[in-house]
Structure 1
Amino acid sequence: MKRIFQTIVVMLVVVFSASAQQESQYSQYMYNTMTFNPGYTGSREVLSAMALYRTQWVGLEGSPKTMNFSIQSPVGIHSSLGLNVLNDQIGPTKNTGVTANYSYTILGSTDLKYSFGISGTLDNFSVDYSKLNVEYPDPYLTGVESQISPNVGVGFYVHSYNWYVGLSVPRLLKTNYFDDTKETTYSSSSHFYLMGGYVFDLNPYLKFKPATMIKAVSGAPIAIDVSANFLINDKLTLGAAYRWDAAVSGLAGFQVTDGLNVGYAYDYDTTHIGNYNSGSHEIFLRFELISKSKSKMITPRFF
């Protein structure tokens, strides 16, 4: 009986995570780049910490909720270190991951920089059977079952003062959870991310940045996110995003101080599931330890 319900849980996980392609989904991915690409680590050139919370498909029971915290900093002329902590909850399942990142940067001509990153991750995937609504309780269907698995990732990131391109695979290894029998196996496959953006200086007080991120994983359609943001007077960010055949988003952010930035996004689902929820909400807070000599260089960079 327990194995039967394990199978049901796995099916639920697959259904709920299909649109996210098994990994966490963000509307404000352009501010959370280190989560996908270890090569981004330290590219802000200061100590940078970020906290993000996302609640998806509000009003739908068991809908995904994501909490993410990351911190990164240069540790020399060429090297940088970062740490990322992720908590993903979907129905009775939860995945908690801790990732350590390292990047090495090579200085190119003018302001061009090439960064190569590697990461190591420990994931703890668990199922809480007490959250299942079982009509006929089973004595074996109790408690929490969990499994820890390691993973590694790589990433390449190149940028100048007004553009960036990145390619990464944050989890290279395929992981099987609860694989004591074939019927209860849940697999997490490698995801490939290609991202890029460009900042146009329209005038001294207005910048425009289109950006995109393409996600690919075996057995699922390619996911394409595109966004367009305006930065007004280096303070207020307003924009919109579109997740191909999935959702449209409104984005807003405000630079409270040179080192403190807050942002909010609202998603409206364009698929049939949009009829059964009130959209998705996402908020982030980023703090950076910036000296006055650094503030003029980093704030206008806009990524």
Structure 2
Amino acid sequence: MKKTSIQILKCAILLLLIFPFDDSVKAQQDPMYTQYMHNPLTVNPAYAGSTDMLSAMFLAREQWVGFDGAPKSRTLTMSAPITKYDIGAGIAFINDELGPVKQNSLYADFAYHLKVSDRAKLAFGIKGGFDMIQINLMNLNLNQQNDQTFADDFSEDFILNFGLGLYYYTDRFYMGLSVPRLLKNNYDNDGFNTTSYGYKERHYFVTTGALFDINENLKFKPSVLAKVVWNAPVSVDLSANFILNDMLWLGAAYRIKDSMSFLLHYQLTEQLRVGYAFDLTESELRKYNNGTHEIMIAFDFQFNKKKIMTPRYF
């Protein structure tokens, strides 16, 4: 098969992954993260303000390295509590690329935190924002140059959406349920649905995790993330981290029938944390890529210098 034919085949596969063209073909369309336990705001707005400080986090993911047109994601989030009113606020910017498809998203998050016991709170969250999407079809290398399917690029700006979430948490346990995008936006070139490029399916996320003391210097933190999309297989991420001296996190994760991951997280200072994850693909795609890399940088702003900062586990 010619190289250009292979490129077209790859692009077709990638387009099907992100844009299902009819009801019989649906797939997970939102970005995935191996370090989801450090990046909950992107999937659950109720997490906003659950920490006691202003926090910022940047995460970059290079998926399936060596595979042309493979997914690339960049995420920047900020979150802070407004303790006087028991609410939290956050903002998230996501840049996602998949083959010829580029999407930028900007969402604001708000959450109300209700104290249900001396140690537990239940947060109700809502998020709202927009997506901007572009598909560069004209830049593809085609065997048939006059193929009208690829004659025009596609773009659509300010696709509005909103989501909801619940988040129950203590200092040793958490559980969340969320739908980041409730509207099933339809993508078309002219706004009248005459040339449809598919639509966004709703993604349902369930998360949970806990913290256990093994001894005074070692803690164990397992966590689970389940993603549910209509007419697509349920995706489940299982992870386990060991925390040494509240500074070094070493762990592993398994995405069922997809990949095995190794995780490293280090508390450089009281305010600065860094993380790294490496995924090894388990599916047939392992023959065509060299794994997935994901890096994370997080910073907690300490405005009150007299306040003692406690370690961040959730």
TM-score normalised to the size of structure 2? 0.87
Cα offset, 1:138, TM superposition: 4.6
Question: Could you say which residue in structure 1 is the equivalent of 2:313?
Answer: 302
Once the two structures are superposed, the pairs formed by residues 124-163 of structure 1 within 5 Å of their partners are 124-138=132-146, 144-148=153-157, 149-163=159-173
* Contact map agreement 1:16 1:63 (CA 8 A) in 2: no
Structure 1 residues without counterparts, runs of 5 or longer: 1-7
Corresponding residue number in structure 1 for 2:14: 12
From 164, 182, 189, the equivalent of 1:172 is: 182
> Kindly tell me: are residues 86 and 190 of structure 1, through their superposed partners in 2, closer, same or farther at Cα, counting changes over 3 Å?
same
Alpha-carbon spacing, 1:112–1:283, altered in 2? closer, same or farther (3 Å): same
Compared CA separation, residues 295 and 243, structure 1 to 2 (3 A) = farther
Query: Please, what is the CA RMSD of the aligned residues?
Result: 2.3
- SS in structure 2 of the partner of residue 185 of structure 1: strand
CA contact (8 A) 2:19 2:197 kept: no
Identity of aligned residues (%): 38
Deviation at 1:13, TM superposition (A): 1.6
The Cα shift of 1:14 comes to 1.8
Deviation larger for 131-140 or 42-51: 131-140
Shift of 1:121: 1.9
Q: Secondary structure at the match of 2:268?
A: strand
Contact 2:19-2:199 at 8 Å conserved across structures: no
Normalising to structure 1: TM-score of the pair? 0.91
- Is 1:227 equivalent to 2:239 in the alignment? yes
Equivalent residue number for residue 210 of structure 2: 198
Structure 2 distance, partners of 1:126, 1:44, is 35
Corresponding residue of 1:256? 268
Q: How does 1:44-83 map to 2 (within 5 A)?
A: 44-77=51-84, 78-83=86-91
| CA–CA distance in structure 2, aligned partners of residues 143 and 266 of structure 1 | 37
State the secondary structure of the residue aligned to 1:123.
strand
Unaligned runs of 5+ in 2: 1-9, 21-25
Tell me which amino acid in the other structure corresponds to 1:240: A
Counterparts of 1:63-142 in structure 2, within 5 Å, are 63-77=70-84, 78-138=86-146
Instruction: Report how many residues are paired.
Output: 294
Q: Secondary structure at the match of 2:233?
A: coil
Aligned to 1:3: none
Structure 1 residue 20, shift from structure 2 partner: 7.3
1:147 deviates by 0.9
- State the secondary structure of the residue aligned to 2:83: coil
- Find the aligned partners of 2:34 and 2:220 in 1 and give their Cα distance: 18
1:3-33 superposed Cα distances (whole Å, 9 cap, x missing partner): xxxxx96763223689971110000000000
SS of corresponding position for 1:23: coil
Alignment-derived partner of residue 200 in structure 2: 188
Asked if 1:282 corresponds to 2:271, the answer is no
Counterpart of 1:26 in structure 2 is: 33
Q: Equivalents in 1 of 2:267, 2:152: separation in Å?
A: 45
Structure 1 position 137, deviation (Å): 3.6
Structure 1 distance, partners of 2:166, 2:241, is: 24
For the 8 Å contact 1:47–1:289, the answer to whether it is kept is: yes
The one-letter amino acid paired with 2:50 is S
CA distance in 2 between partners of 1:13 and 1:270 (Å): 21
Deviation readout 1:254-284 (Å, 9 max, x if unpaired): 1000110000000001100011100000000
Report deviation, 1:108. 2.2
Q: CA deviation at 1:178?
A: 1.9
